[in-house]
């Protein structure tokens, strides 16, 4: 067992009292695995929100986490807004029940498995175009800025129908918006406002002049929603859609290029020999190294309840369903800390579960698979251009990942 300090445990587990993560990187705190395996599977924690330390219960066993995510009626996101580190009010992430279903319903058909399969050629073309830009750097580049971010940003922006020249601006807004540190809350609010103004103009333009894009669909289908909600719908798709995906691509390349696997010094070399295992590798990397800080999405308990494990929660408790812990529950995943590209089934919770299950999960997973397959095929010699411990990781951000990833080939 890995010891954590005495007294109330701070969450996230790896962050010090001053809010700084001294060991940032793609690995989850080892205590998660211990907690998931334990009998109670529940850890009282304190979290810093808006300058205050708020108590919460970290839910760690797989069946319990799934139950919390499944029962929106008993575990409310809307009633936990005061405990959110990122302000997601007005987005589907901050809503419950009928309100949530109405907003999600306006876009969900565009992201079903068949709809996303239909986008496969477009996604491949976007990845190939960006790979050409990367390759033109001539032997070394930053995989985050030169490939992963522009690729993911272009896919979701193309789908929404947002003009190309405006996209550099989205990244600046999005980075501020997703900051979790208290110091950045004012900046986050300002960037959400600026981005909101821009998106409102786009929606308004579509009403007079419809096009064949998702912005037009939102402009029509969500017209009855409050302005704030209409604007935050494309905002959540845009920000949720590029940052998570781009961070997954660069984090997974980092891991494949720095971790051994099946007798190979680097898992990358194993995949060069077994390209048919890319899908399994991506799913396993999602399980062990989720880039979404979903553990930051607290819920409020709406009535006294007993979880599948027998643990009791009281009305009013704030709970954090920890997918990072649940993904290590040995009752579901044999030898959970072992990276196994052949793990089947692999029902990880890194895209959430239940009503808030990531609306873009099929698209995000497709983008990551397409990107890795292409990089392995076209740049097989791709490797880190710095020592693994020299890579800088994002701090105080709802999405985990490297700030930049220097690579060469
Ligand atoms: C591979 C990358 C991705 C990861 C790891 C990821 C992760 C997640 C997780 C864990 C949730 C659930 C949060 C909760 O339960 O409270 C979520 C929700 C969401 N994701 Fe993703 N996501 C990814 C890609 C995408 C993409 C590509 C899009 C946009 C097209 C997107 C848009 C959203 C939205 C709008 C929600 C809110 C859904 C709701 O509340 O009903 N995500 N995502």
Domain boundaries, the chain: 9-408
Tell which phi-psi region holds residue 41, choosing left (phi > 0), alpha (psi between -120 and 50) or beta: left
Angstrom distance (rounded) from CA 217 to CA 368: 26
Residue bearing the CA closest to ligand 1, atom 17: 358
- How many alpha carbons fall within 13 Å on the CB side of residue 234? 31
* Assigned superfamily of 9-408: Cytochrome P450 (1.10.630.10)
Nearest partner of 219 among 235, 202, 236, judged by Cα: 202
Quote the pLDDT of residue 120: 97
245 within 8 A of 252, measured Cβ to Cβ: no
The rounded Å distance from CA 179 to ligand 1 centre is: 16
The rounded Å distance from CA 105 to ligand 1 centre is: 15
Angstrom distance (rounded) from CA 252 to CA 257: 8
Angstrom distance (rounded) from CA 346 to CA 280: 9
- pLDDT in single tens digits along all 409 residues of the chain: 334 445 678 888 877 666 666 667 899 888 899 999 999 899 999 988 878 889 999 999 999 999 999 999 999 999 999 998 888 889 999 999 999 999 999 999 999 999 999 999 999 999 999 999 999 999 999 999 999 999 999 999 999 999 999 988 887 787 776 655 544 567 777 877 888 899 999 999 999 999 999 999 999 999 999 999 999 999 899 888 888 999 999 999 999 999 999 999 999 999 999 999 999 999 999 999 999 865 678 999 999 999 999 999 999 999 999 999 999 999 999 999 999 999 999 999 999 999 999 999 999 999 999 999 999 999 999 999 999 999 999 877 778 899 999 999 9
Angstrom distance (rounded) from CA 175 to CA 191: 9
Ligand 1 contact, 104 CB (< 6 A): yes
Ligand 1 contact, 180 CB (< 6 A): no
Ligand 1 contact, 184 CB (< 6 A): no
Quote the pLDDT of residue 53: 87
CA distances to 10, 11, 51, 53, 384 from 19, in Å: 10, 10, 11, 12, 29
408 within 8 A of 375, measured Cβ to Cβ: no
Global pTM reads 0.94
227 within 8 A of 200, measured Cβ to Cβ: yes
Quote the pLDDT of residue 3: 42
Total residue length of the chain: 409
The rounded Å distance from CA 364 to ligand 1 centre is: 9
Angstrom distance (rounded) from CA 163 to CA 19: 37
| CA end-to-end distance (rounded Å), the chain | 40
Residue bearing the CA closest to ligand 1, atom 11: 358
Residue bearing the CA closest to ligand 1, atom 10: 351
Ligand 1 test: best mutation among 240, 251, 300, most atoms within 8 Å of CB?
240
Report the atom number in ligand 1 closest to the C-alpha of 363: 27
Residue bearing the CA closest to ligand 1, atom 6: 351
Residue bearing the CA closest to ligand 1, atom 36: 358
The rounded Å distance from CA 337 to ligand 1 centre is: 24
Residue bearing the CA closest to ligand 1, atom 42: 360
Ligand 1 contact, 150 CB (< 6 A): no
299 within 8 A of 319, measured Cβ to Cβ: yes
Name 260's Cβ contacts closer than 8 Å, sequence gap at least 6. Answer: 266, 267
């Amino acid at each position: 067992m890995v010891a954590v300090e005495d007294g109330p445990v701070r969450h996230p587990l790896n962050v010090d009292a001053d809010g700084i993560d001294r060991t940032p990187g793609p690995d989850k705190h080892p205590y998660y695995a211990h907690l998931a395996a334990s009998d109670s599977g529940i850890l009282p924690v304190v979290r810093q929100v808006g300058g205050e330390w708020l108590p919460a219960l970290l839910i760690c066993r797989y069946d319990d986490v799934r139950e919390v995510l499944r029962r929106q009626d008993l575990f409310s996101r809307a009633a936990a807004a005061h405990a959110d580190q990122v302000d997601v009010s007005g987005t589907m992430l901050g809503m419950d029940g009928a309100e949530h279903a109405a907003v999600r319903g306006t876009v969900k058909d565009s992201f079903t498995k068949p709809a996303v399969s239909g986008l496969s050629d477009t996604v491949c073309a976007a990845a190939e175009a960006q790979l050409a830009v990367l390759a033109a750097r001539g032997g070394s580049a930053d995989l985050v800025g030169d490939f992963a971010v522009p690729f993911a940003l272009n896919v979701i922006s193309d789908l929404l129908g947002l003009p190309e020249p405006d996209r550099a601006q989205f990244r600046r807004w999005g980075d501020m918006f997703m900051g979790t540190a208290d110091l950045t809350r004012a900046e986050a609010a300002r960037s959400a406002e600026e981005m909101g103004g821009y998106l409102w103009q786009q929606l308004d333009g579509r009403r007079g002049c419809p096009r064949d894009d998702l912005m037009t669909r939102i402009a029509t289908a969500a017209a009855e929603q409050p302005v704030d909600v209409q604007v935050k719908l494309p905002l959540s798709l845009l920000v949720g859609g590029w940052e998570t995906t781009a961070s997954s691509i660069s984090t997974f390349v980092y891991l494949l290029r720095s971790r051994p696997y099946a007798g190979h010094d680097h898992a990358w070399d194993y995949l060069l020999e077994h390209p048919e295992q890319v899908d399994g590798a991506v799913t396993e990397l999602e399980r062990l190294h989720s880039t979404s800080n979903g553990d930051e999405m607290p819920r409020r308990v709406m009535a006294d309840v007993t979880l599948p494990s027998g643990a009791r929660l009281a009305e009013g408790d704030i709970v954090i369903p920890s997918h990072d812990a649940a993904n290590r529950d040995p009752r579901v995943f044999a030898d959970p800390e072992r990276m196994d590209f052949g793990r089947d089934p692999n029902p990880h919770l890194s895209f959430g579960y239940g009503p808030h299950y990531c609306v873009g999960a099929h698209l995000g997973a497709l983008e990551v698979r397409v990107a890795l397959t292409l990089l392995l095929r076209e740049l097989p010699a791709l490797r880190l251009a710095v020592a693994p411990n020299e890579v800088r990781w994002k701090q105080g951000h709802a999405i985990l990942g490297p700030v930049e990833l220097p690579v060469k080939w």
